[in-house]
Chains A and B, each alone.
Chain A
């Protein structure tokens, strides 16, 4: 008799998800799926709204990465308006996006994943949380809190609110930066550098203890997609997309937001509300790819900031070509954060950063527009169509979690096959299967545009579909 394991809900993620592991009659893992079990439908209810409302409406999709939605949405609106935003507005948006990346990555690394990394995958689940981290290594917990505060304070300073700031609008931003705010942000930098240095140093000491996880946590060849500048340095807010293959060769380059939907398709699977993005010329699933911190570092030739460049060089020593194991999302996330802090410092030294001209205005000049940006979890694309009055007639959002969906499912299967033997498993094994998903830091609220936290259900199913075991985490 075959079996199915269900992990429901998956914990320490953003949103609601479930994992099922199907065993065959011999008790070996036959198949595994990561299910996203929530749905909202932001695209649909935005129909009929004026296009200029879209950034603030779309930001409500997520409380963790609203800035990414603000920016991608505003850029889509600017394509409809046919305007180019002022330099200072672009720089301020870039800073806001990086601040969000730092606070979001800090949540993922320190709050959600460091309990596994510090206390161990098999440690007591009752203590495998932020309290456990605080008790065992309080300086690590304080670094996480400090980096969260760093990002949130900048977001609050620029956008007046920590969550759902309304400062980014079609055409730019609503208010320029004051010298007082600039100086206040500059004063935050020394502590932020100290915190990320502590985290990187600690991570590099412990990473090799997880050799088994490195080998089987979504460790396979794949395509990688991410934004890049013309000089091949990493980019989060502007630039164009590059797609590379598992050997690092360029598959497609210079993909603009308007070209995104021509080359990226979205498949559906019966077990998930989240779509599965793929590169159309290769079809589905062959054209599936990964986005996010790992993809960004695999694609970028440089970071464009000295400390992060040194870290990138070290990161690239992990493999001859692109780094394939998704366990290294953790490492890449820390390098992203270091880059974000350095880049914010660079932006604040821009002689035009206090310029008062931060918004361009225009009406509807095109019936359609698309915008793209790097969210913490990967590439985000918003695409809208409007009528002659500027009311939305159609909208589509392609979210990072959907673009990583196929890889997450493959990763869950790979880890389950490695760890679950003869139908036997422990809580620690199930935690490892969850941890595969956690490395990607998926945001299920974004991917299904759904509400809430992300508990997870894990089910173990027999060959005839009978639930043999079920772990529910809330």
Chain B
């Protein structure tokens, strides 16, 4: 792809009508407001991660995925690196995980973002409702802080690289 890449792509996943699952779109909205002035940051929220997003990832130097997690304790906020993975026979064209999206981007566009991170918040319930549980409400400040620092760090590295520094 012959593109000028954005520095940081934030991809959030979740459904605001499904209780705590809406935290992805909530954090995306927060990030869009926080980094509104920064044209090097792009934020996209969707209910599902579909294969088309591989193309957007191929246009980003770094990517931060945001998702809810039923596997961690409610309210637990985690930020960890993501490695690309291949799809298998159970692959859905309606929803891919962060590793599969990275893997698909590698296969289709021969490109992997320099840094790929996954921010998760443990959730209590994804039942039909439009409110977060107390555990997720209590974790929002930490999640925003972690996200903010991660984006700032990635932007700083991008700036240093752009000015010829080895990072």
Contacts and interface: CB of A to CB of B under 8 A. Distances in A.
A145 B93 CA distance: 11
Interface string A38-78: 00000000000000000000000000000000000000000
A453 interface: yes
A149 B89 contact: no
Nearest to A132: B87
Contact of B51 (A125, A126, A130, A163): A130
Given A142-B109, A145-B54, A152-B52, A131 B93 contact: no
A134 interface: yes
B86 interface: yes
Contacts of B104: 130-131, 134
Contacts of B89: 11, 125-129, 473
A129 B87 contact: yes
Closest 7 pairs between A and B when the two form their complex, measured CB to CB: A134-B107, A131-B87, A111-B93, A129-B91, A125-B89, A134-B108, A126-B89
B103 A131 contact: yes
Contacts of A152: 52
Contact-residue size bin, chain B (C-beta under 8 Å from the other chain): 20 to 34
A126 B92 CA distance: 12
B108 A142 contact: yes
Interface string A435-456: 0000000000000000001000
Nearest to A12: B93
Contact of B107 (A128, A131, A474): A131
A111 B94 CA distance: 10
Nearest to A163: B47
Interface in A104-137: 107, 111-112, 125-131, 134-135
A460 to B, nearest CB: 20
Contacts of B110: 138
Contacts of B92: 453
Contacts of A138: 107-110
Contact of B108 (A126, A127, A141): A141
B71 interface: no
Contacts of A111: 51, 93
A290 interface: no
Given A126-B89, A142-B109, 20 more contacts: A11-B89, A12-B93, A111-B51, A126-B88, A127-B89, A128-B89, A129-B87, A130-B93, A131-B86, A131-B91, A134-B107, A134-B108, A138-B109, A138-B110, A141-B108, A145-B54, A149-B52, A152-B52, A453-B94, A474-B90
A57 B104 CA distance: 34
Nearest to A140: B108
A306 B162 CA distance: 48
7 contacts: A130-B104, A131-B103, A135-B107, A142-B109, A145-B54, A145-B108, A149-B52
Contacts of A135: 107
A377 interface: no
A191 B76 CA distance: 44
Interface string B41-72: 00000010001101100000000000000000
B84 to A, nearest CB: 11
Contacts of A129: 87-89, 91
A148 B107 CA distance: 18
A145 B52 contact: yes
A145 B107 contact: no
Nearest to A126: B89
Contacts of B93: 12, 107, 111-112, 130
Contacts of A453: 92, 94
Contacts of A127: 89
A459 to B, nearest CB: 19
A200 to B, nearest CB: 20
B30 to A, nearest CB: 21
A107 to B, nearest CB: 6
A130 B91 contact: yes
Given A111-B93, A125-B89, A129-B87, A149 B107 contact: no
A93 B54 CA distance: 29
A124 to B, nearest CB: 9
A130 B92 CA distance: 9
Nearest to B56: A149
Residue in B51, B55, B100 with the greatest tally of chain A CB atoms within 10 Å: B51
Contacts of A134: 104, 107-108
Contacts of A107: 93
A457 to B, nearest CB: 14
A112 B92 CA distance: 10
B14 to A, nearest CB: 15
